[in-house]
Structure 1
C-alpha cells in the first residue's frame, strides 16, 4: 500500500461519482466496520445507501448521526442481527434481497476476541472463540447476497465483497476433512486458523461461482477497537494498553479498507490483501480440493437457514 497520504488521494479520486452505491456493512456498528462506514459516507458525500448490520441500535444511531446528511433519495439504516445464528443471518439476507435492487459493496467484519473454550451454537459450530461470527455468518451473507452484487456488475457498477479478518494466517493445515466443525481438536489457536482458512477458501469458491464479482480477504493490521471486550479484566487491560501503543485508528483502518474497495486495478475474482494493501504471497495456497471441501461444508451448515 502506498503512503497514507496517497491512500487518501486515491480514495478521493476513485470514489464512485456517477452512481448512488449501496453498501451493506455486517459488523458495521463498531471497529473496522464503523471505520469503513464513515469513510464511505465521507467520499460519497451523503449520496449512498448504507446499511449497518449489527447488534447495537444505539451504536448504529450514533454512527448515523455523525455521517454527512444524505442527499435526496439516499439513506442510512440499521438492521439488527445476532450473526452467531445462521437462522438470523438468513432472515436478514432474505429481507435485504427482497427490498434492495443491488449491492455494490458488501463488507464483512463482525468480530469477537475470547479465550473461552468451545461453545457450540444452534448450528453446531463454535461461537465464542471465532468460527460462527468470524466465518459462517460471513459466508452465508456473501453467498445469499451475491445475486444483488451480480446485478450491480451487470449494470457496469462496482461489485465487491470484502471480508476483513486475517489474510496471512490461513493455509492447508486449517482444513481437517474429518473434523470440519472443529469438534475433536478444538483450541483457540485452531479456531483462529480454521476461521481464517475458511475465509480464504470461501473467497476462492465464491469467485469461481460468481465470476462478475470481486471477492477480497483483507488483513487490517492491529486496529484500536473494542474487540477484546469479552476477555478477563486483567488481560483486557493489558491488550488494550498494548493495542494503544501499536495500533492504528478505526478511521485509518477504514481508509485502508476502502482503498481496496475503490481500487480500479482489482479485477473480478479472488484477492488476498496484506495490511499494507499488497497481494498476500507469504503463505501456501489452498488446493482446489480444499476449496471445494470448505464450500461443501459451509453450504451444509448454512443451507435452509
Structure 2
C-alpha cells in the first residue's frame, strides 16, 4: 500500500507539475468521478474541464461546486446519454472542434444492471456501460491525446472499474452475452484491460491505467432490486473497516490520474532516471505494468495505488494475438453500429 500521507504529498505538487490541464471527465457529475474532479480542481491553478453527463440538474450542482473551489478554472458541461454510440460521437466532436490537445481522459461512468435490456444500439447493457461506450471516447478523442503526447505534455487515460480482477474471456462470446452472474463482471473488466493494453502498445507515448477504486459509498449503489439491498447491507456491515471515505478516494484516484510513477512506455527510462529508484516520496519506484515490467505503459492498479501484474492469460493474449483479435472485434462493433446511422 502507498501511504495516504505520501499520496497527499505528491498531490500537493500537481499545481507546479500540471498547473493548467485540459481534462475530459466521463462520470464526473456524481460519485467517485465527482470526488476526484473536485480534488483535481482544488489542486491545479487554471484547469479546463469538460464534464459529461446525462442530467443538467446534476451539472448545475457540479458547475457551482467547481466554480467555488477554483474560480480560475473553465468548466464546460456536455450533455450526453453515453449508452448510444451516436451521442458519444456528437459529444466528442464538440470537444474535437474546440481543443488542440487533451492531457487527461478520465472514465468512471458505470452502474450494475444484470439482466437489463439491450441498448438502443443492440449491445448487451453491461458490456456497453462497462466497455464499449467508455472505450469509444478513447477512440474518438485519441487525436487530441496523441497531440498532447507529441508536444511532450502529460497525457493519460484512466478507467475506473476493476483493474486486477480480470477473468479469461470466451473467444466465442466476445460480446459477453453468455457469461453467468458470477463471471460476467470480471469478463467486462478483462475487456477493458485487454483494450487498454492494445491501445498502450499502439500509443507508447500515452499511459493507460485501469484502476480498481475499492469499496466507496456512491449514488451508484442505490439502484433498484434485491442486489442493491445486498450491496447496501455489505456497506453498512463493512463500515469504517473496509469502506474508503470520499476524501481518501479522491486523493488516491487523483494520484493515479496524475502521478509520475505510471509513465507511458516511451517515457519509462526518463522517469526512472528522474525518480532515481526512490519514488520522490510518492511511495514507490516506477510502477510495474500488467506484463510485470516497470513502466510498460498499461497498468492495473489496486485501490491502495499499487500496481498489480496482470494474470498470466493477459500476457498470453499478447503472445497468441488474441489482444489484436479482440480489438478488431471492438472496431467491428462500432462500425456495425455506425453503418446503421
Please give the per-residue CA displacement for 1:204-251, whole angstroms capped at 9, x wherever unaligned.
Answer: 111112221111111111111111222326446424524644311233
Match of 1:69 in 2: 70
Pair 1:18–1:180, CA change in 2 (3 A): closer
Match of 2:290 in 1: none
Is 1:279 the equivalent of 2:307?
yes
Give the TM-score taking structure 1 as reference length: 0.90
**Pair member with larger Rg:** 2
Provide the C-alpha distance between the structure 2 equivalents of 1:250 and 1:291, rounded to a whole number of angstroms.
Answer: 35
The answer as to whether partners of 2:51 and 2:76 remain within 8 angstroms in 1 is: yes
1:147-158 paired onto structure 2 within 5 Å: 147-158=143-154
User: Which of 197, 213, 219 in structure 1 is aligned with 2:206?
Assistant: 213
Pair 1:225–1:20, CA change in 2 (3 A): same
Is 1:241 the equivalent of 2:207?
no
User: Which of 143, 156, 163 in structure 2 is aligned with 1:160?
Assistant: 156
| Higher fraction of helix | 2
Q: Secondary structure at the match of 2:224?
A: coil
The answer as to whether partners of 1:146 and 1:210 remain within 8 angstroms in 2 is: no
Pair 1:274–1:237, CA change in 2 (3 A): closer
- CA offset at residue 38 of structure 1? 0.5
Provide the C-alpha distance between the structure 1 equivalents of 2:193 and 2:213, rounded to a whole number of angstroms.
Answer: 15
Q: Secondary structure at the match of 1:106?
A: strand
Provide the C-alpha distance between the structure 1 equivalents of 2:251 and 2:313, rounded to a whole number of angstroms.
Answer: 28
Pair 1:105–1:16, CA change in 2 (3 A): farther
- CA offset at residue 113 of structure 1? 1.9
Is 1:300 the equivalent of 2:328?
no
Q: Which has the higher contact order (CA 8 A, sep 6+)?
A: 1
Q: Secondary structure at the match of 2:208?
A: strand
Q: Secondary structure at the match of 1:227?
A: helix
1:1-305 paired onto structure 2 within 5 Å: 1-17=1-17, 19-45=19-45, 47-67=46-66, 68-71=69-72, 74-114=73-113, 116-127=114-125, 130-171=126-167, 173=168, 175-183=169-177, 185-232=178-225, 234-235=229-230, 237-242=232-237, 244-245=239-240, 246-268=242-264, 269-281=297-309, 283-286=311-314, 287-288=317-318, 289-303=321-335, 305=338
Please give the per-residue CA displacement for 1:7-36, whole angstroms capped at 9, x wherever unaligned.
Answer: 111111244556521111101111111112
| Structure 1 residue ranges without an equivalent (≥5) | none
The answer as to whether partners of 2:11 and 2:251 remain within 8 angstroms in 1 is: yes
Please give the per-residue CA displacement for 1:40-61, whole angstroms capped at 9, x wherever unaligned.
Answer: 101004x100111112222222
Please give the per-residue CA displacement for 1:268-304, whole angstroms capped at 9, x wherever unaligned.
Answer: 1211111111111363241122211221111112236
Count the aligned residue pairs. 296
Please give the per-residue CA displacement for 1:187-220, whole angstroms capped at 9, x wherever unaligned.
Answer: 3333212210011011111111222111111111
Moved more, 253-262 or 160-169: 253-262
